[in-house]
Amino acid sequence: MPLALRPSGYPSRIYERLYGSAGPWYDLVVGWGMFPLGGDRRCRRDFAAWCDARPGQQVVSLCCGTGNTERAILDRTPDVELVAFDLGPGQIARARRKAERLRTPVPPRFEVGDAAATGLPAAGYDRVLVGLCLHEMPRDLRLRVLREAARLCRPSGKVIAIEHNRASGRLARAGQWLWWLYWLPGNPEAVTSLDLQRSGLDREMEQAGLRLLERHYTRPDWVQGLVAEPGGCLTPGNRVRYRL
């Protein structure tokens, strides 16, 4: 039977508190998950490339964790204005410490905040990143976050959602199942991640008012990156790009 989840996407206050204080070991857990994909640094460089932020653009990141993808974006394109949110105070504190070592024209801002209700102005950002967080949330919360991303994105901008993917091939799926501990009893991410894979990230982005432009995959294809723009439903004629 699926776990009963709180509005935050976690099954209990204990999980919420653990996540909020997870700064010191958060990177170790994420690094473990990224190891079969070439390691955390390689993945973050790929994510930054998928984001494709340009000099002078304004970037907002929802659910930034400890800021590894954001740092990769700034390493690739230092001349952007970046603001990032996460519900975890421990993660934000660690992200701010990492940001102190960056040399950028405009220092990034890392704030504790709700990705589904940022309070930022509508249509104010060239790039809106939703990175590796939706798989932790129940479907209604995922849609709220994606709608917030669509609201924040300029008509000429892009929303980049990076998420767990249903790996192609039985061997790849078996490795994903084992390595990411989907088999572990009580693992709340197994419930929500598998629901996201069944529902389809592309379909949920479409429901949130986004039109798909590009697809990217890690190797193996355990993680996907979907690039979209505001503006309604997915159509067959849209350009779709694959990382081979």
Tell me the domain boundaries of the chain.
13-230
CA gap 74, 45 in Å, rounded: 10
Listed as own residue / partner, the contacts of 33-42 with beta carbons closer than 8 Å and 24 or more positions apart are 33/179, 33/180, 36/175, 36/179, 36/220, 36/222, 37/218, 37/219, 37/220, 37/222, 37/223, 38/218, 38/219, 40/68, 41/72
Q: Report the CATH architecture of 13-230.
A: 3-Layer(aba) Sandwich (3.40)
Above pLDDT 90, what percent of the chain?
77
Closest among 22, 64, 23, 72 to 45, alpha carbons compared? 72
Per-residue pLDDT of 33-63, as tens digits, reads 999 999 999 999 999 999 999 999 999 999 9
CA gap 41, 43 in Å, rounded: 5
Window from 1-5, 67-71, 73-77 with minimum mean pLDDT? 1-5
Return the pLDDT at 23: 59
Q: Phi, psi (5° rounding) for residue 61?
A: -120, 125
Window from 6-15, 24-33, 34-43, 185-194 with minimum mean pLDDT? 6-15
Amino acid making up residue 126:
D
CA gap 6, 114 in Å, rounded: 14
Q: Average pLDDT of 110-133?
A: 96
Only one residue has tokens 């955390």, namely: 40
Q: Does the N-terminal peptide bond of residue 220 adopt cis geometry, omega within 30 degrees of 0?
A: yes
**Overall pTM surpassing 0.85 (yes/no):** yes
Only one residue has tokens 């704030």, namely: 111
Per-residue pLDDT of 201-240, as tens digits, reads 999 999 999 999 999 999 999 999 999 999 865 444 343 3
Does 163 have pLDDT greater than 50?
A: yes
